[in-house]
């Protein structure tokens, strides 16, 4: 039997009482995230607690993909179709994903008490640093839809150094003008909250078409057990301030941006106007014929090009067709996180041709 030996352990630098060594903290965090595949966490913030779900393991030198959902949905109903789409797997396996649920939108959330002051969209954006601090992440690539796109943009304006890229789907960066308010009030006289929210998520044509997809989302919004909470998020969205983007001005997004809009989306004009206000060398505009993010095919492909332009997708990860189309554009990209700051995003059209111009081109993609 092996002899037990007494081993003397000495600490070179004694720790202060209650102090945890940095390496141990990092190991604990890595282990926590490793174990937490799709685990939900909550953190306290100055504006109340916020819940988020983490998938994947952190990769050194890589940002987290950080999502924020639209009104009437939660992270699952908004992003599951995109993130569980087959072709998306080769992309997301290279990233840790953090999916936020706006307060009161998480599954099983209790209804807020009467008189509860729901955070404004700006305050929801101010909760994000608490999440990143908890996870010890320094940078993100944000993916937001509607209200979530606004929140991530607001966060990027106040924390530009921590946002490497933004995918903004159906964003409306403008505050409601008095005409919008009048229309909103009139609609409110004849429509229920679920109907108004469905009118925000989809066009009238899509709603009257009543496809399977529309029936699914109608069911989600109409039968939400937390409808009172949803109404509070909806009110915050309608009371948003103008983001005041200004091309060439101080208030602008500094990172690469992919703007995405459905060609029948209620926000099409707002997204087009947003495109005109952002830096054209950093911004790409993608129009899809089905409402994103429910139609993940072309969005996935465009997302791949977007990441590739940032140097995060090796050409070996591209589909054969995509690879042959973009071979001349990918020389700076590498899978291990060594990236150049080349801003190349290419998008494919349905016909399979791909323009190889700089970002900032408007490209209509059907899906
Ligand atoms: C993900 O893998 O990131 C994911 C999985 C399920 C729902 C949403 C996202």
Q: pLDDT per residue over 205-244, tens digit each?
A: 889 999 998 999 999 999 999 999 999 999 999 999 999 9
Atom 7 in ligand 1: residue holding the nearest Cα: 80
Say yes or no to pLDDT of 269 above 70: yes
pLDDT at 342: 35
**Residue 179, CB-side half-sphere exposure with 13 Å CA sphere:** 1
Query: How many angstroms separate the alpha carbon of residue 204 from the centre of ligand 1?
Result: 29
- Residue whose Cα lies nearest atom 1 of ligand 1: it is 83
Which of 3-12, 89-98, 186-195, 312-321 is least confident? 3-12
Say yes or no to pLDDT of 13 above 80. Answer: no
Tokens 């070996």 identify what position?
A: 316
What is the structure's pLDDT at 8?
Answer: 43
User: Per residue in 310-356, pLDDT tens?
Assistant: 999 775 555 543 443 333 222 223 333 334 333 333 333 333 323 33
Compute φ and ψ for 26, nearest 5 degrees: -65, -40
Q: Give the integer Cα–Cα distance in Å for 70 and 367.
A: 21
pLDDT at residue 171, rounded to an integer = 97
Residue 34 clears pLDDT 80, i.e. is over it: no
- Helix-strand-coil split of the chain, %, nearest 5: 40, 15, 45
Ligand 1 centroid to 218 CA: how many Å? Answer: 22
- Rounded to 10°, the helix 178-190/193-201 angle is 130
Q: Please report, for residues 176, 253, 335, the alpha-carbon distance to residue 167 in angstroms, rounded to integers and kept in the order given.
A: 23, 12, 20
- Residue 347 phi/psi, 5° resolution? -130, 145
Dist CA 325 CA 358 (whole Å): 15
Q: Is the pLDDT of residue 248 over 60?
A: yes
Of the chain, the end-to-end C-alpha distance in Å amounts to: 69
Task: Tell me, in angstroms, the distance from the centre of ligand 1 to residue 81's CA.
Answer: 9
Distance 55 CA to ligand 1 centre (A): 7
Compute the mean pLDDT over every residue in the chain, rounded to the nearest whole number.
81
By the 8 A CB rule, do 274 and 61 touch? no
Per-residue model confidence (pLDDT) at position 262: 86
Is the pLDDT reported for residue 364 higher than 70? Answer: no
Lowest mean pLDDT among 2-6, 78-82, 214-218: 2-6
| Residues at CB less than 6 angstroms from ligand 1 | 55, 76, 79-80, 83-84, 92, 97, 99
Using pLDDT thresholds of 50, 70 and 90, give the confidence band for residue 264: confident
- The neighbouring-strand residues paired with 66 are 98, 142
pLDDT tens-digit readout, 109-160: 999 999 999 999 999 999 999 999 999 999 999 999 999 999 999 999 999 9
């Amino acid at each position: 039997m092996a002899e037990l030996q007494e081993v003397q352990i000495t600490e070179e630098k004694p720790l202060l009482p209650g102090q945890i060594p940095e390496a141990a903290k990092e190991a604990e965090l890595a282990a926590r995230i490793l174990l937490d595949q799709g685990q939900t966490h909550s953190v306290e913030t100055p504006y109340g607690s916020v819940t988020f779900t983490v998938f994947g393991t952190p990769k050194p030198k890589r940002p987290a993909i950080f999502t924020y959902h639209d009104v009437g949905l939660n992270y699952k109903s908004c992003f599951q179709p995109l993130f569980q789409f087959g072709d998306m797997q080769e992309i997301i396996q290279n990233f840790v994903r953090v999916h936020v649920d706006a307060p009161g939108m998480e599954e099983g959330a209790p209804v807020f008490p009467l008189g509860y002051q729901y955070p404004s969209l700006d305050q929801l954006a101010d909760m994000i640093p608490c999440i990143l601090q908890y996870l010890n992440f320094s940078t993100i690539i944000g993916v937001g839809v509607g209200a979530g796109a606004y929140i991530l943009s607001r966060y990027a304006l106040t924390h530009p150094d921590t946002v490497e890229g933004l995918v903004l789907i159906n964003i409306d960066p403008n505050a409601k003008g008095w005409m919008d308010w009048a229309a909103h009030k009139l609609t409110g006289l004849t429509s229920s909250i679920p109907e108004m929210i469905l009118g925000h998520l989809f066009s009238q044509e899509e709603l009257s078409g009543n496809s399977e997809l529309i029936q699914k989302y109608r069911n989600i919004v109409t039968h939400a057990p937390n409808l009172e909470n949803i109404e509070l998020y909806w009110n915050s969205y309608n009371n948003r301030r103008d983001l005041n983007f200004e091309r060439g001005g101080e208030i602008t997004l500094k990172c690469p941006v992919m703007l995405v809009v459905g060609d029948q989306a209620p926000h099409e004009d707002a997204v087009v106007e947003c495109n005109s206000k952002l830096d054209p060398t950093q911004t790409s505009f993608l129009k899809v014929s089905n409402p994103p993010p429910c139609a993940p095919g072309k969005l996935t492909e465009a997302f791949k090009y977007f990441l590739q332009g940032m140097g995060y997708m090796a050409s070996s990860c591209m589909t054969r067709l995509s690879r042959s189309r973009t071979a001349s554009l990918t020389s700076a990209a590498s899978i291990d996180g060594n990236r150049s700051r080349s801003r190349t995003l290419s998008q494919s059209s349905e016909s399979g041709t791909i323009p190889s111009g700089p970002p900032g081109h408007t490209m209509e993609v059907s899906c």
